[in-house]
Amino acid sequence: MAAPRDLAFDPWDPAFLADPYPAYAELREQGRVRYFEPTGQWLVAHHADVSALLRDRRLGRTYLHRFSHEEFGRTPPPPEHEPFHTLNDHGMLDLEPPDHTRIRRLVSKAFTPRTVERLKPYVRRLADDLVAGLVEAGGGDLLRDVAEPLPVAVIAEMLGIPESDRAPLRPWSADICGMYELNPGEEAAARAVRASVEFSDYLRDLIAERRKNPGDDLISGLIAAHDEGDRLTEQEMISTCVLLLNAGHEATVNSTVNGWWALFRHPDQLAALRADHSLVPTAVEELMRYDTPLQLFERWVLDEIEIDGQVIPRGAEIAMLFGSANHDPAVFADPSRLDLTRRDNPHISFSAGIHYCIGAPLARIELAASMTSLLERAPTLRLAAEPVRKPNFVIRGLEGLAVELG
C-alpha cells in the first residue's frame, strides 16, 4: 500500500510514522478536504473542520442503525470476521442513538469526575509502588514497568477482573485493536477474531459468576441495571466490558510513553517540569497534543455534506486526522513547539461530540499520577536507549522505553 506521489500523507511509510506532523502541515496547506484513494476515505486535517464534524449528526460511527450494508453501498464483512464485528458493533463507541445514549448513560455513572476523583489516592499509591520497583531495579522499561500495569490494574479493578485473570487482557486488546488500523490484512483479522472469541467467552463466564455472587464492581452494577430494566442485552454487556478494558488502557499506555519520550527529547522542558511539579496538569495536556496517541478517527456520511464546496455523498467515509488538528496553527500558537506551560490548549485527543471519551477524567488522573510519581521518586530518570516505534499509524505508540537512573 502506498499513497499518491503528490501527497506527503503516507501512513505506510516508516519516515512518515516517525514524524507525521510536517506531512500534516503540507496536507493542511493543500486544502480542507482531500480524497485518499488507498483507503477510499476523505481526509480532513484542519482543527475547525474536525471539531465541527465530530459534532455533526449527519455523520455516524456506524450506519447500521439506519441502513443495511447493501443499502449503504458497502460489502458486508466476510462471515469469518463475524465474532469481531458482533463484539465491536455492540459497544457504545460503535453505536449511535438511541442505543448509544442508553448504554452511555448507564456506564457514565462510573466515570463522572466526582466518582473518578475518589480513585485518586488509589491510583497514586499504585503509581508510587510501580515507580518504586523501577527505581529499586535501577531502571527498566517504562512501558512494561509503569505505563502499562497502571491503567490495566485500574480498569480491571473497576470492573472486578480477578488479578489472576489479567495476563491475557493486554494481548487480547492488542489483537482486537489491530482492526482499527487502516486496511487491516487477513492475518490481523484472524488474530482479532480469535481474541474476540476468547475475550467474549471469558467475560460471559465472569458475568454468569457475578450474577450468582455480585460484588461492588462495575460488572455487577451493569448486571443489576440489566436485571432491573432489561436495559442492556448480554451481548451489549460483554461488548461494553471489552470496550472499557481496551479503551481503558490502550491510549493511556501510549500517552505515557510518547509523553516521556518527548520529554527526554526536550531537556529544557523536562528540567522546567522537574523544577516545578505544579506544571503537571498543563504538561499532561500538552504532551497529549504534541504527540497525539490516537491519530485518526473515522465517520460514515449518513446524509450528504459539503466541505469547502466539495459535496461528500451518503455512503462515503471521512477520516479525521486528530494529530493534524492538534498541530493546526490556526488554533495553537507555534504548534510544533512543546510548551508544558501552554494554557490555551483545546486539543482534540479525547474527541468531541457524543463519543467524547468517557474515560477522560480517569485518563487524566492516571497520567498525572504516573508523571508525579516519576518526578518525585525518580528525579534522575533518563533515556537508556533510543526507543523503537510501533509500526502502527492509528494507535501511535512505542515498543518500549528503556530508562535508567542517572
Q: Which stretch binds ligand HEM (CB under 6 A): 172-180, 262-270, 291-299, 325-333?
A: 291-299
Among 296, 384, 392, 378, smallest CA distance to 12 is for 392
Residue 149 within binding range of ligand HEM, rule CB under 6 A: no
Shortest distance in whole angstroms from residue 305 CB to ligand HEM: 17
How many Å apart are CA 271 and CA 263, to the nearest integer?
Answer: 9
Rounded to the nearest 5 degrees, what angle is found at the Cα of 204, between the Cα atoms of 199 and 210? 120
How many Å apart are CA 314 and CA 303, to the nearest integer?
Answer: 5
Strands of 59-60's sheet in order across: 33-36, 41-44, 317-321, 296-301, 59-60
The CA–CA distances, whole Å, from 196 to 82, 89, 178, 383 equal 10, 12, 12, 36
Residue 297 within binding range of ligand HEM, rule CB under 6 A: yes
Q: Which ranges of 165-279 does DSSP label H, i.e. alpha helix?
A: 169-177, 186-212, 218-229, 234-247, 250-265, 267-275
Shortest distance in whole angstroms from residue 384 CB to ligand HEM: 24
Shortest distance in whole angstroms from residue 254 CB to ligand HEM: 8
Q: Which stretch binds ligand HEM (CB under 6 A): 21-29, 132-140, 344-352, 383-391?
A: 344-352
Residue 155 within binding range of ligand HEM, rule CB under 6 A: yes
Q: Which residue type sits at 112?
A: T
Shortest distance in whole angstroms from residue 137 CB to ligand HEM: 26
* Assigned C-alpha cell, 333: 500558537
3-state secondary structure of 381: strand
Residue 359 within binding range of ligand HEM, rule CB under 6 A: yes
Shortest distance in whole angstroms from residue 309 CB to ligand HEM: 26
Nearer to ligand HEM, 135 or 259 (CB): 259
Shortest distance in whole angstroms from residue 180 CB to ligand HEM: 10
Q: Which stretch binds ligand HEM (CB under 6 A): 29-37, 45-53, 139-147, 343-351?
A: 343-351
Contacting residues toward ligand HEM, per CB under 6 A: 61, 92-93, 104, 155, 243-244, 247-248, 251-252, 255, 293-294, 297, 349-351, 355, 357-359, 362-363
